[in-house]
Amino acid sequence: MAKTSGMVWLVGAGPGDPGLLTLRGRQVLESADVVVYDRLASPRLLKYARSDAEIVYVGKQSSRHTMKQDEINALLVDRGLKGLSVCRLKGGDPFIFGRGGEEAEACRSAGVPFGVVPGVTSAIAAPAYAGIPVTHRRMCTALGIVTGHEDPGKTVSTIRWDGLAQGLDTLVFLMGVENLPNIVRNLTEQGKPSDTPVALVRWGSTSRQETLVGTLADIVQKVLDTGFSAPAVTVVGEVVRLREGLRWFDNRPLFGRTVVVTRSREQASELAELLESLGASAIEFPTIRPEPIPEVAESPVLSCLPLDYDWIIFTSANTIPFLLSALRVNGGDVRSLGAARLAAIGPGTAKALTDLGLNVEYVPREFVAEAVAEGFPVDPAGLRILIPRAEVAREVLPEALAARGADVTLLPVYRTVPDAEAAEDLRAMLNEKGVDIVTFTSSSTVRNFHDAIGDAPMDGVCIACIGPVTASTARELGYQVDLVSSTYSVPGLVNELVAHFGKTEDEA
């Protein structure tokens, strides 16, 4: 979007699952000069913000405020009057008990243009993620969404409790945990049967989601007994009875597990997405960052294009963009790979090549260097083989091929450097027993993780590794390895985690 003048956008961030942000909301977030977000908006959405954007956390919470509403209004107006594009990222929907109307009024009064991007409200999404449809043809034809606590400046409640109790089939209260005793009392006094089902859904649509089910007669005591706390959505009505049959989110195999993903930022998304699809909370902690080796473009290997090799073996998907970048410096492109046949160490690397329209002729059955050499589809004797790779890498593959008579050329195109930007936060999580699983996908991720966390406690944390080489490095550094995927790939590692935790829970 082209920026013409100051503009404040009130954007609904959804209930917590970052995947529920609308496409329009993402567009606004990506173009904003300033992002103002609150406690109920997923911090993971900030990855869509520009690197040079001003990020302001206003973390409002019941009884505790990082910034008061008047101050938030003033902030939005100030940035808008300065000609900046502002994304006010609000949990749920801005206009459903989100005080978005007040922020819009403040902008209008100051002459600041504003717009609204509706969001998925927690009033509907949190129950849905708990398996509770807020309407159902057999049970509910009238739905009410009610604030759980009114404006504290009011002297008398304006909620029509008689109408709520008698006139609506399903009631959804937002921000009502602290006021639950009053809600229950008012509903029952106005004739709502005491055996009416009630469900509280905490942190709905996230891996922290918890659901507490009871009735108007016992829900308050259950909240006291369990210590159930805000933020939560309260659903009152017969539709709550559908939960057990319609649960789909909080009964997934890795639900509630917090998993640390140590791959580089460029590679982490595949593993994080798979984990989250199975209910886990994926914490991306990239311990390594690949960066190019500038001198590679001057290598004699690239001096004459197209390349003149019989085979090119790619041992990592990281290699591909760095090799292509070096080729471009020399006036070439993907066509400069010439007539070489291509091999990839595993399916992830193979996919990265096929996505470029390249044909991969060989992927070994086991995705390690030893298997590449042992299962090579032709006799390598006399063949010219190029292996683009990291600056520091195991010598198993080139030595094995050379021993069989191949003429092997090594071309380091990138190096990995430690990336421990979020180490302090991760150490805090480990100290607070907030991590269930740590995944390692290479020896370098293990070493850099070990260096980054120092003496943070790892007892009780499941260590999961891709393949025996990575596992061996982890053991050398003193970690107890719990899982080693038999298939040396990201899906293989995830399948191993599912099998392990599913078995553990069944046996328990």
Whether residues 275 and 299 fall in one domain: no
**Distance separating alpha carbons of residues 390 and 416, to the nearest angstrom:** 7
Residue 16 is part of a domain; what is its CATH number? 3.40.1010.10
Whether residues 79 and 128 fall in one domain: no
Q: Is the pLDDT of residue 64 over 60?
A: no
Q: Which of 78, 104, 120 is the last residue of a domain?
A: 120
**Distance separating alpha carbons of residues 376 and 323, to the nearest angstrom:** 23
Q: Residue 407 falls within a domain, yes or no?
A: yes
Q: 469-502: per-residue pLDDT in tens?
A: 899 999 999 999 999 998 778 888 999 999 998 7
Q: What is the mean pLDDT of residues 28-53?
A: 90
Whether residues 208 and 103 fall in one domain: no
Active site residue 60: yes
Q: What is the pLDDT of residue 61?
A: 53
Q: Is the pLDDT of residue 38 over 60?
A: yes
Residue 297 is part of a domain; what is its CATH number? 3.40.50.10090
Q: Residue 386 falls within a domain, yes or no?
A: yes
Q: What is the pLDDT of residue 154?
A: 57
Q: How confident is the model at residue 24 (pLDDT cuts 50, 70, 90)?
A: very high
Q: How confident is the model at residue 151 (pLDDT cuts 50, 70, 90)?
A: low
Q: Is the pLDDT of residue 62 over 70?
A: no
Q: 167-221: per-residue pLDDT in tens?
A: 999 999 998 899 999 999 999 999 999 999 999 999 999 888 999 999 999 999 9
Active site residue 1: no
Q: Is the pLDDT of residue 69 over 50?
A: yes
Q: Which of 17, 33, 60, 429 is catalytic?
A: 60
Q: Residue 1 falls within a domain, yes or no?
A: no
Q: Residue 2 falls within a domain, yes or no?
A: no
Q: What is the pLDDT of residue 266?
A: 64
Q: Which of 175, 250, 429, 436 is catalytic?
A: 175
Q: Which residues does 507 contact at the CB level (< 8 Å), separation at least 6?
A: none
Q: How many residues does the chain have?
A: 508
**Distance separating alpha carbons of residues 35 and 41, to the nearest angstrom:** 11
Farthest CA pair distance, the chain: 91
Contact 80, 86 (CB under 8 A): yes
Q: Please, which residues bridge with residue 145 across strands?
A: 172
Whether residues 394 and 299 fall in one domain: yes
Whether residues 457 and 397 fall in one domain: no
**Distance separating alpha carbons of residues 13 and 496, to the nearest angstrom:** 33
Q: Residue 275 falls within a domain, yes or no?
A: yes
pTM, rounded to two decimals: 0.73
Percentage of the chain lying above the pLDDT 70 cut: 94
Q: 87-99: per-residue pLDDT in tens?
A: 999 999 999 998 9
Whether residues 317 and 407 fall in one domain: yes
DSSP string of 435-495?
Answer: --EEEE-SHHHHHHHHHHHTT---TTPEEEEEHHHHHHHHHHTT----EEESS-SHHHHHH
Q: What is the mean pLDDT of residues 319-330?
A: 93
Q: Is the pLDDT of residue 129 over 90?
A: yes
Q: Which of 399, 416, 433 is the last residue of a domain?
A: 416
Domain total in the chain: 4
Whether residues 101 and 169 fall in one domain: no
Q: How confident is the model at residue 379 (pLDDT cuts 50, 70, 90)?
A: very high
Whether residues 263 and 410 fall in one domain: no
Q: What is the pLDDT of residue 213?
A: 98
Q: Residue 360 falls within a domain, yes or no?
A: yes
Domain of 280 in residue numbering reads as: 258-287+419-507
Q: Please, which residues bridge with residue 211 across strands?
A: 201
Q: Is the pLDDT of residue 381 over 80?
A: yes
Q: 448-460: per-residue pLDDT in tens?
A: 899 989 889 999 9
Contact 409, 384 (CB under 8 A): yes
Q: Is the pLDDT of residue 400 over 60?
A: yes
Whether residues 159 and 109 fall in one domain: no
* 170 backbone dihedrals φ, ψ, rounded to 5°: -120, 135
Q: How confident is the model at residue 506 (pLDDT cuts 50, 70, 90)?
A: very low
The tokens of 476 are what?
């050398």
Q: Which of 396, 416, 436 is the last residue of a domain?
A: 416
Q: Residue 251 falls within a domain, yes or no?
A: no
Q: Which of 7, 17, 33, 38 is catalytic?
A: 38
| Cβ atoms within 10 Å, residue 128 | 20
DSSP string of 19-71?
Answer: GGS-HHHHHHHHH-SEEEE-TTS-GGGGGGS-TTSEEEE--EETTEESS-HHH
The per-residue pLDDT of the chain, averaged, comes to: 90
Active site residue 38: yes
Q: 219-270: per-residue pLDDT in tens?
A: 999 999 999 999 899 999 999 999 999 999 999 999 989 999 987 766 667 8
The full 3-state SS of 303-339, as one line of letters, equals: CCCCCCCCEEEECCCCHHHHHHHHHHHCCCCHHHHCC
Q: Residue 253 falls within a domain, yes or no?
A: no
The full 3-state SS of 14-26, as one line of letters, equals: ECCCHHHCCHHHH
**CA triplet 20, 212, 135: central angle to 5 degrees?**
55
Whether residues 159 and 14 fall in one domain: no
* 283 backbone dihedrals φ, ψ, rounded to 5°: -105, 110
Q: What is the pLDDT of residue 288?
A: 72
Closest CA to 220 of 202, 208, 234, 209: 234
| Cβ atoms within 10 Å, residue 382 | 10
The full 3-state SS of 170-226, as one line of letters, equals: EEEEECCCCCHHHHHHHHHHCCCCCCCEEEEEECCCCCCCEEEEEECCCHHHHHHHH
Whether residues 308 and 262 fall in one domain: no
**Distance separating alpha carbons of residues 219 and 161, to the nearest angstrom:** 19
Whether residues 231 and 305 fall in one domain: no
Lowest mean pLDDT among 68-77, 103-112, 419-428: 419-428
